Every structure is written in structure tokens, then in C-alpha cells.
Amino acid sequence: MGFIKNVKDEIKVIRERDPAIHSSMEVFLYPSFRVMIHYRLAHKLYLKKHYLLARFVSQRAARKTGIEIHPGAQIGSGFFIDHGTGVVIGETTIIGNNVTLYQGVTLGGTGKESGKRHPTLEDNVMVSAGAKVLGSFTIGANSKIGAGSVVLEEVPPNCTVVGVPGRIIKRENEVVIPRETMDQVHLPDPIKEDIQNLQKANTELTNRLLDLENELRQLRKDT
């Protein structure tokens, strides 16, 4: 009964979040569906300490889908991987409910830690394409990680992070960010903003210098 429930849950999640799916039968071809079914089985084997068999199941899924989820990872309900090729989820990763990952995401370690080596993603987190979250810290609930970002430090809830290394560029007071607002494209660009601020400051300094030169010329004429 547990297996049937898992199948139904995965079908529901994918149909809710991917507009390209037109029928429930298509879901059976979807990499996210296939890898999660394998993961649920592998995770049960892992918890029973059948480590070799668990890794066999997970690696078989990785070869077929291009998505590598260690059987020791803890993943909540409503988890969704869009496309998914190149996604890697480490052994001590903890993922809450209604989390979305896009292709090329890595939830990994830095290679310098023992014990809990991988990140914790709280509920309703979105990690955009190509982003890397490395280390044993927490990404707070309802936060967004921009495409291509490299996050190396803890992120509070309700934040938006972009850049390399990742930095917080927006902090929201909302308790929950609805899934439908999780847009991985229209995020602020802190580098562009910094350049614009520098250009503005340079223009103001140039104008001030010109004013001073004019004042100096006027003083010379008066004298």
C-alpha cells in the first residue's frame, strides 16, 4: 500500500508543477518520477542497513535518469526535480516539504567535514538551474537560490540568494511564499546594481569636478 501511495503522490506533484505533462501516463516516463520511486526503495533499504543493496538501487536510477540521490538523504513530501539531468544530492542532505530543484543542482559537501556534511533545505525552498549548495548549513524555509549561484553559508528563511559566492539580495517578511511565485528567472542582479551605483557615483563626481573648475575659472577672472 505504501508503494501505491508513493506512486500516486509523485504523479500528483509532477502534474501540479510541470505544465508540459498532459496525462498521468506521461509521468511514468519522467526522470523525477523514476528516480524518486527508486529513491524511496533505496532509502528504506538504507535505513535497514542494507547499504550495498541500497546503493545498487540508487546507482541504477542514476544511470537511467542522470539524477544521483544518495539513499541516505532524507527527503520530505512534495519534492520535485524539473528536468533533473546533473542533479546530485549527498548522503546527509535533509530536504523538507514542497522543495523544488532544477537541472544541474548540487547539494553537496566541501570535503572538509565529517558527520553531517551536506545542506538542510527547509520547506518550500527553490534551487534554480546549475546552483551549488555546499556544506552542512541550513537554507531557511521559503527561500530561493538563483541560477548558477554557489551558496557556502547559511541562508535565513524568506530570502533570495544569487551570485558566486552566493549572497542575500532580498529578504521577505512573508511567512509562506506560494509555489506558483517561485520564478527562477526574474531575480535581482546584485553585480548589475553595483555597477549602476558606481556609474552614478562617477557621474556625480565628474559633475562636481566640472563645477569646481568653473568656479576656479570665475575666481581667476574676478581677480
**SS3 label, residue 76:** coil
**SS3 label, residue 157:** coil
Q: What share of the chain is helix, strand, coil (3-state, %, to 5)?
A: 40, 15, 45
Q: What are the residue boundaries of the structural domains of the chain, listed by start?
A: 2-188, 189-223
Q: Which three cell numbers stand for residue 196?
A: 549602476
pLDDT of residue 1: 46
Rounded to whole angstroms, the Cα distance separating 160 from 35 reads: 28
pLDDT of residue 178: 45
25-49: burial string, b at 16+ Cβ within 10 Å, e else: eebeebbbbbbbbbbbbbbebbeee
Rounded to whole angstroms, the Cα distance separating 84 from 63 reads: 13
Helix then strand count (H, E) for the chain reads: 5, 15
Q: Give the pLDDT confidence of 11-20 residue by residue, as tens digits.
A: 777 777 766 7
* CATH 2.160.10.10 for domain 2-188: yes
Q: Give the pLDDT confidence of 105-137 residue by residue, as tens digits.
A: 999 998 777 789 999 999 999 999 999 999 999
Contact partners, residue 71, CB within 8 Å, separation at least 6: 39, 42, 43, 45, 46, 51, 54, 55, 57, 58
Q: Give the pLDDT confidence of 80-102 residue by residue, as tens digits.
A: 898 888 999 999 999 999 999 99
pLDDT band for position 183 (cuts 50, 70, 90): low
Q: Give the pLDDT confidence of 29-86 residue by residue, as tens digits.
A: 788 888 888 999 999 999 999 999 999 999 999 999 999 999 999 999 889 898 888 9
β-bridge mates for residue 121, sequence order: 95, 139
Q: What is the mean pLDDT of residues 209-214?
A: 88
Burial tier of 94 (Cβ tally within 10 Å: 0-12, 13-18, 19+) = middle
Q: Are 172 and 149 in contact (CB under 8 A)?
A: no
